[in-house]
Chain A
Amino acid sequence: DVVLTQTPPTLSATIGQSVSISCRSSQSLLHSNGNTYLHWLLQRPGQSPQLLIYSVSRLESGVPNRFSGSGSGTDFTLKISGVEAEDLGVYYCVQGTHAPNTFGAGTKLELK
């Protein structure tokens, strides 16, 4: 199975600070059809995960544009440009290029 390694495991930020989360894959996530099935989720405390970004950089409808995604192949990044209080929680990357779908272990974003 594809292993997704997220760093850092924990991130402390102040409101307004910009932060980045890395997701590295054990295999290239470029599918033979040319698509890259790497997505980002946020799980707020006590809630189920919600989709933020799909296919590396496509912002899900309703998600603030302070969230952005980038990367290719095996290296991907989620950036938050100006953390807000509602952004606290655990961020996961998830891949759908190779069966089975696999998730990163998560990055917990907390207030400094």
Chain B
Amino acid sequence: QVQLQQCGAELVKPGTPVKMSCKVSGYTFTSYVISWIKQTTGQGLEWIGYIYPESGSTGYNEKFKGKATLTVDKSSNTAFMQLSSLAAGDSAVYYCARVAQDYWYFDFWGPGTMVTVSS
């Protein structure tokens, strides 16, 4: 069965980066796009960007350009998102989701990584 595994939580200091992972199983990693989505109580759900695992090609929401960097490691079927220079507003739950490209919808979601930015 399709699964996307994410680490549960990260506590990071302001100004530092964080890199989170999304390890997939149950399907061919390079056949589906991976998207990343941010969830906060105040802003709700926000789409960050996508990556094509086969080529590494990416697309970003303008709001997250310079903040998020998406990469993959095809050898381990893992997608990564690095967030730079963390601030309080980056505290959120971050989800990875598989994208069904025929109608561009998020058909499987990871459990999320809760990032807390605090000194």
In the complex, residue of chain B having the shortest beta-carbon distance to the beta carbon of A53:
B105
Interface contact A51-B47, CB-CB below 8 Å: no
Interface contact B109-A49, CB-CB below 8 Å: yes
Q: B41 → chain A, closest Cβ, in Å?
A: 11
Q: A105 → chain B, closest Cβ, in Å?
A: 5
Q: Which residues of B contact A58 (CB under 8 A)?
A: 103
With an 8 Å Cβ cutoff, the count of chain A residues facing the other chain is 24
Contact of A50 among B45, B61, B100, B109 (CB under 8 A): B109
B80 CB within 8 Å of chain A: no
Contact of B105 among A47, A55, A100 (CB under 8 A): A55
Q: Which residues of A contact B45 (CB under 8 A)?
A: 49, 92, 94, 103, 106
Given A49-B95, A101-B47, A102-B47, verify A35-B103 contact (CB < 8 Å).
yes
Q: Give Cα A9 to B30, complex, Å.
A: 38
Contact with B along A31-45 (1 / 0, CB 8 A): 000010101010000
A110 CB within 8 Å of chain B: no
Interface contact B95-A54, CB-CB below 8 Å: no
Interface contact A51-B44, CB-CB below 8 Å: no
Q: Give Cα A55 to B35, complex, Å.
A: 18
Given A49-B45, A103-B47, A106-B44, verify A96-B104 contact (CB < 8 Å).
yes
19 A-B residue pairings within 8 Å (CB atoms): A37-B105, A39-B105, A41-B106, A49-B45, A51-B105, A51-B106, A51-B108, A54-B107, A55-B103, A55-B105, A92-B45, A96-B104, A99-B59, A100-B62, A100-B63, A103-B47, A104-B44, A105-B44, A106-B45
